[in-house]
Structure 1
């Protein structure tokens, strides 16, 4: 069984500008949440089976851009497999607030960030 793309994230050093761009371009809604450093959960308006996402501020130098999060059954096994295949860990496994599971982020062999979500 394949692993589905489960979430997308867009980070920027100018998150308000980027939020305005994507909401105007695609008709999405994305309200910043002050309790999450103005990170905004995106509603694409595509219904309950659509892939969700978020738009927010960059957290570190070089952390701007678009990344996907892929659903994995076992986060540690996914991290180990990614390392075997030449990935570097950018964000070690961590718990998401609110019981939303755990994530980690790796850089693929070309340096593209990819999130793993269990």
Structure 2
């Protein structure tokens, strides 16, 4: 089954940690990921020579979540978020623009698991 004409395959992941530097070291040592630190709050991670597969960010008091969130690609973030809410999901992070990357949003599924959306 597809959502908005897209296969529901993971497109990105984020690890949000109260100690992003520690999380970067942990996952780099565990998986051998290349870590490209953008600033004190965020780093891109992925395989050597490959596109980044995800990121590790600094969670703070205003962070919408901590832990790991998997993002799924959809054609329309607003439409997919509305559908998730109609099915019992709860909005956690309103849709927002990602420079050069489209838009994102996060909702909780009916069990409280955060799920991300990426798209237009």
TM superposition score normalised by structure 2: 0.85
- 1:28-84 CA deviation, whole Å, 9 max, x = no partner? 0113212xx430001233845xx7100011143672100100000111110111001
User: d(CA) in 2 for partners of 1:103 and 1:38?
Assistant: 18
**Paired positions, count:** 113
Aligned-pair Cα RMSD in Å: 1.8
Among candidates 4, 15, 30, match of residue 9 of structure 2: 4
2:112 match: secondary structure: coil
Residue 42 (1) aligns with residue 54 (2): no
Q: Which residue of 1 aligns with 2:78?
A: 76
8 Å Cα contact 2:41/2:57 also seen in 1: yes
- Matched with 1:66 is 68
3-state SS in 2 of match to 1:17 = helix
List alignment gaps of at least 5 residues for structure 1: none
Contact 2:97–2:103 (CA under 8 A) maintained in structure 1: yes
